[in-house]
Amino acid sequence: MEEKTIDTNAPAEMAENKPESAASFAWFVAKLAIVVLIFRSFIFAPFSIPSESMLPTLWNGDYLLAAKWPYGISSHSLPLGLDLFDGRIMESQPERGDVVIFKHPVDGSEYIKRAIALPGDTVEIRDGQLVLNGTAVPKQRIDDFIIPVTSNTDCAWGAMQETAPDGGQQCRYARFRETLPSGASYDVLDFGETPADNYGPIIVPEGRMFVMGDNRDNSQDSRFPAAAGHGVGLVPQDNLVGRATVLMWSTDGSAQWLLPWTWFSAARWGRIGGGL
């Protein structure tokens, strides 16, 4: 009769393998978290657009990726509000015309505007005309900007609401092309005469920047004193978070989480993938 050998060590080995597997999985999760933290802190991070202050460049419901490295890394660049150090590492200031994301100087919320003037620049607004270092920035009237009325887009007071060819409603705005001395060119909206159409002149101090929304008459920006939930004043460059680079998603606000097919019908497909 053939003798059978029983491996009495097998259960012990299996018992030993279980904690090893759990430890390996925990280490994998930890490494993944570290990689994500590094990626979001130093490379790219997602941001959403909750307002229309940057129309026509950015729409309410846009989701974009911001590059974190162009201006250096500060505590404001780090996720979860980690306040680890003062100033910026490998600091660099934005170019005039960059679309920048920064922390509000008072309440710490994230804002997105266009960098217009840098330290040493003299900036002024005369009857709605941007004047930089004593020279009026060219502002050319171009085709109207038209945007559909949707769940997250209404016509502001400066728009004309009208019926679109498909029977829906749309907003029509006067649009202009502004070109900075550096050659940076972008579109802006102008509703007409407002109190904020005259400002300055002021000289931007060291370490600060003057920012404006592209939707000039619907933007709380550097023309207004820094106050929680309102103007931002002359923004400290140490508050920079990153530079807007590419649109990765856009929705008109009509999607419902419990109706997956609406995720696709609400998408603004023509805006996805556009650079800034």
Both structure tokens of 194:
């407002």
46 vs 49: CA distance, rounded Å? 10
Residues in the chain: 276
Angstrom CA distances, 41 to 35, 73, 168, 193, stand at 10, 8, 42, 41
**53, 77, 219, 250: which is the annotated catalytic residue?**
53
Residue 62 CB neighbours (<10 A): 24
63 vs 46: CA distance, rounded Å? 7
Contact call for residues 52 and 218 (beta carbons, < 8 A) = yes
**74, 77, 103, 113: which is the annotated catalytic residue?**
113
Radius of gyration for the chain, computed over Cα atoms and rounded to the nearest angstrom: 25
Helix, strand and coil content of the chain, in percent to the nearest 5, comes to: 20, 35, 45
Active site residue 68: no
54 vs 253: CA distance, rounded Å? 17
201 vs 124: CA distance, rounded Å? 4
Peptide bond into 225 cis (omega under 30): no
123 vs 137: CA distance, rounded Å? 10
Active site residue 53: yes
67 vs 71: CA distance, rounded Å? 9
Active-site residue set: 53, 113
